[in-house]
């Protein structure tokens, strides 16, 4: 694959990694009843505090609100990183129970990322060269 193709695919591959990490958090750390019982006991592991903060985050729709704020910023920004951040936060929120706000932020971020990628200036290999010979009809 060419360098340009990797450059265009990298944000989408990173989004897939974010989705995988969020799925692991949800199905591996938050949902299992064994984890809830382990963290409910006296002398629970150190990471139970982080698990509790994750749960409080989606109970109060924090992830969805942050994702929507990033999506609004992405609408008015021409930066690829801002669009990607909106999509990533939307995906994270969607995976962690903030369905409505996460879906909207993921959609806006993804569409903005596509738009910014489509407006990227052509690379040197895409531009016509001075000495290229054009075929006659």
Alpha carbon of 101 to those of 49, 56, 58, 127: distances in Å? 25, 16, 11, 41
Cα–Cα distance for residue pair 87/109, rounded to 1 Å = 4
Would the pLDDT of 124 be above 60? Answer: no
Average pLDDT of span 26-32: 94
Question: Which pLDDT band, with edges at 50, 70 and 90, does 3 fall under?
Answer: confident
The string of DSSP codes covering 39-99 is HHSTT--TTHHHHHHHHHHHHTTHHHHHHHHHHHHHHH---HHHHHHHHHHHHHHHHTT-H
pLDDT tens-digit readout, 64-122: 999 999 999 999 999 999 999 999 999 999 999 999 999 999 999 999 999 999 987 76
Instruction: Check if the beta carbon of residue 87 is closer than 8 Å to that of residue 72.
Output: no
The predicted model scores a pTM of: 0.84
Q: What is the pLDDT of residue 126?
A: 58
Task: Please report the pLDDT score of residue 121 as a whole number.
Answer: 72
């Amino acid at each position: 694959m060419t360098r340009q193709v990797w450059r265009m695919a990298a944000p989408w591959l990173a989004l897939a990694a974010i989705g995988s990490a969020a799925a692991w958090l949800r199905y591996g750390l938050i949902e299992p009843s064994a984890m809830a019982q382990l963290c409910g006991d006296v002398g629970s592991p150190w990471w139970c505090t982080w698990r509790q903060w994750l749960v409080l985050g989606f109970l109060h729709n924090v992830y969805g609100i942050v994702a929507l704020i990033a999506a609004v910023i992405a609408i008015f920004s021409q930066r690829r990183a801002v669009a990607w951040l909106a999509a990533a936060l939307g995906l994270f929120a969607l995976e962690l129970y903030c369905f409505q706000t996460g879906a909207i932020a993921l959609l806006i971020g993804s569409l903005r990322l596509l738009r910014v990628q489509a407006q990227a200036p052509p690379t040197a290999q895409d531009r016509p060269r001075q000495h290229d010979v054009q075929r006659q009809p």
